[in-house]
Structure 1
Amino acid sequence: MAMLQIGDSGPAVRKLQQALLAAGFNPGKADGDFGAGTEAAVMAFQHSAGLLHDGIAGPRTLRALGLARSDKLPSAVDRFSVQVVAQMFPQTPLAPIREHLPPVLHAMKAAGLADRVMLLAALATIRAETAGFLPIDEGPSRFNTSPRGHPFDLYDRRADLGNHGEPDGARYKGRGFVQLTGRHNYTVYAERLQQPLVEQPELANTPDVAAAVLAAFLKDRELQIKSSLMEGDLRAARRAVNGGSHGLEAFAEAYRVGDMLTDDEDL
């Protein structure tokens, strides 16, 4: 009973319908046919449980209903070879892809994000943030450095980033695959990953830590990202990670190429 969706039928669907009824979500007659009523009941339950409301009873929905022991989604790691990812990064040499793809895939799997959609989102994020598939420092720009100021002076007192003043702007500038930025974020993911990122922020550029930060950052936004992608809204998916549309074109191109190369699969 790995996944049930509209059009399916049989004893597994009947068990699903009975579980939905027991949870207070009426699918209509428990006849073993997954029709529109069952789909609507599944979606209502998913909304209530804080799950992706796609109307498909996958591992997480079935586990929440007590019908499965595990809520792990099918792993798609094997679909993302160096050759596939190279086509998502057409201007990037193969060497950094070969070096950094394994820690990224390992970190995503460890975070429970080994499904195809989240792997696509992770790689598209890297394409948008660090097109060379390298964990890198953010560079000075008009958005973080004033015309006559020291580098990253516009970050120094950004309360929304948790910065306390100079030198926090430069010390906690964007780093890594996801461009972790601000004292607050460095503190949050230092605790989450048990890494001394506050004292040694440059660790965010080491491949294993950069990959772990990326995975943890996306895990915190998984439902928002998947909901946006379910609607085909790549702009909203990018905004869920970046807070804006910077890098949207690169994100969208990488996502679409990867989506085509790794075939279709339900969100």
Structure 2
Amino acid sequence: MISRDQSLAAQVHLTKAGYDPGLIDGIWGPRSLAAWCGYVAGRPLGALGPLLGAAMAGDFRRFSITTPLRMSHFLAQAAHETGGFRYFVELGSGDGPDPDPWDDYLQRYDYRRSLGNNAGGDGERFRGRGIFQLTGKANYVAYGARLGIDLVGQPERAAEPELAVLIACLFWADHGLNSLADQDDLEAITRRINGGLNGLASRRACLDRAKAIWGAGHGHVA
């Protein structure tokens, strides 16, 4: 858990950096989380910030992402994967070749069995969405069933901030990432999310920024 002193120090840091965590009261809640998301992204998030903060406040407790180090690793990966919380939908389309190099990018995944795609247009329909890029019909079926939501019929819902946070936390828990965060193992976490080490320098920069608000206390796992 986060001590009151850690929370106070983090809230002061965010305030000095120009990000509003609400009351400086030592309570690490939605406002503080929203400000922290903006701080790690390096830009104000506007109306998106409170949506992310509220979702994280609940889901972090539910999935025990509750220490500075665990939260810092989650936010670092989230900020990288979404381009600083700009993109919750994979770029590209499946409309066919034209001068836009992204235009037919997703068509290659239309019949990708490893993703559960089995029809024309599935590559685009079940493109990566959310924080950790939920991709492929099989994953939309599986996570939709767990959430009680028809993500196959409404795949765009996976990009909604509240659901994006919940799906990302489920993925985090499914892949045992809390224990790797406790070990401060950025590379192992990156491999489980990305399948490799793509964007490692950016992820490390995001992690350094996420940790900065905690000072010397970021590594405490209480």
TM-score (norm 2): 0.72
Q: Distance in 2 between matches of 1:210 and 1:149?
A: 25
Q: Distance in 1 between matches of 2:28 and 2:66?
A: 6
**Residue segments in structure 2 that go unaligned for 5+ positions in a row:** 2-26
Q: Which of 185, 189, 195 is equivalent to 1:237?
A: 189
Q: Distance in 2 between matches of 1:105 and 1:94?
A: 17
Q: Distance in 2 between matches of 1:260 and 1:148?
A: 36
Q: Distance in 2 between matches of 1:77 and 1:240?
A: 28
The list of structure 1 runs, each at least 4 consecutive aligned residues, that deviate by more than 6 angstroms after superposition, is: 145-149
Question: Could you say if the C-alpha distance between residues 93 and 254 of structure 1 is closer, same or farther in structure 2, counting changes exceeding 3 Å?
Answer: same
Question: Could you say if the C-alpha distance between residues 156 and 115 of structure 1 is closer, same or farther in structure 2, counting changes exceeding 3 Å?
Answer: same
Number of positions where the alignment pairs a residue of Structure 1 with one of Structure 2: 187
Q: What is the match of residue 246 of structure 1?
A: 198
State the Cα distance separating 1:134 from its structure 2 match. 4.5
Q: Distance in 1 between matches of 2:181 and 2:63?
A: 19
Cα deviation, 1:95-116, whole Å, max 9, x if unaligned, reads 1333422213322223333333
Equivalent residue runs for 1:51-90 within 5 Å:
77-78=28-29, 80-90=32-42
* Higher helix content, 1 or 2: 2
Q: Distance in 2 between matches of 1:112 and 1:148?
A: 38
**Residue segments in structure 1 that go unaligned for 5+ positions in a row:** 3-75
Identity value in percent = 28
Q: What is the match of residue 152 of structure 2?
A: 198
Secondary structure of the equivalent of 1:139? coil
- Aligned AA (2:62): A
Please give the root-mean-square deviation of Cα atoms over the aligned residues, in Å.
Answer: 3.0
Q: What is the match of residue 154 of structure 1?
A: 108
Q: What is the match of residue 266 of structure 1?
A: 221
Question: Could you say if the C-alpha distance between residues 118 and 184 of structure 1 is closer, same or farther in structure 2, counting changes exceeding 3 Å?
Answer: farther
Q: Distance in 2 between matches of 1:77 and 1:239?
A: 29
State the Cα distance separating 1:197 from its structure 2 match. 0.6
Q: Distance in 2 between matches of 1:182 and 1:115?
A: 32
Higher relative contact order (CA 8 A, sep 6+): 2
- Aligned AA (2:63): A
Q: Distance in 1 between matches of 2:102 and 2:92?
A: 12
